[in-house]
Amino acid sequence: MTDISATLIENTSKNYIFYIPSTMYAMVENSEFKGIIPKDEYDTIVFYEDKTKIRTSNLGKIILFKVLNKKDDLKNNLLSLLEAKTTLNKAVFDIILNDYQEHLKCHLHITSWMYNHINKFFHDIDETLANAFKFQAQNFAAHSLQIDQHFQLKNEDRHFDTIDVIKNLESTFSTSEVKNNIFKNKNSSKKETLTPLQKSKASIKDEDIDLFLLQTVFNVEL
């Protein structure tokens, strides 16, 4: 059970592009998360290839290609679940499947939100990078539909509050190596040049999403 769950999470997180907008800075500094992210680390697009390869510069077309192929990582999860269904006790498999569906729906929510809001946080973003967020969201949407159809799951609308998403995403980037590599990579290489839009304070809903991303990337313990 542990092995397949870890594999599912690893495949979900590979070739993953994200950003942490500066609109969350004041919220972070006035919360229990104060100081977790240096101020100059916001408004940077990060590409997490795997736990040993993290990029914040020279993203370009190579990243778009990898994000497009994210569907292969997600397809491997489907194949793993189909195999597990034939080898595991039904009760055990149902737990794994339900946990993965919840985890996946959270990723679907986050990736869609990042794409839909990318132009609110980055002015004149390169079209290639914008498309990377678009294709990532589409890959998760297609995979979520496949999971629902193959295992005859109900595709119910789900509202995710902060606690829901933290519980389901805290393991996605949970290793200390990820946190260290992100900071090390950013301090030793040129960042992708992006100009954030000037905007008013984010709404509560936007701040919640920012908090989800903070927890997911930096593994902050509650």
Using the CB atoms, write b or e for 175-192: b if 16+ within 10 Å.
eeebbebbeebbeeeeeb
Burial class (CB in 10 A: 0-12, 13-18, 19+), 33: middle
Place of tokens 């390169």: 126
Q: Which two tokens stand for residue 198?
A: 């000037």
**Domain assignment of residue 86, given as a range:** 2-218
Tell me the C-alpha distance between 67 and 73, whole Å. 10
Tell me the C-alpha distance between 164 and 100, whole Å. 14
Tell me the C-alpha distance between 15 and 56, whole Å. 13
Residue length, the chain? Answer: 222
Whether this model's pTM surpasses 0.95: no
Q: Over the stretch 58-86, which tens digit does the pLDDT of each residue have? A: 787 778 888 988 999 999 999 999 999 99
Q: Over the stretch 126-179, which tens digit does the pLDDT of each residue have? A: 888 999 999 999 999 999 999 999 998 876 666 554 434 434 434 455 553 445
Looking at the structure of the chain, the number of domains it has is 1
Rounded to an integer, the average pLDDT of 104-116 is 89
Q: Higher-confidence residue: 208 or 176?
A: 208
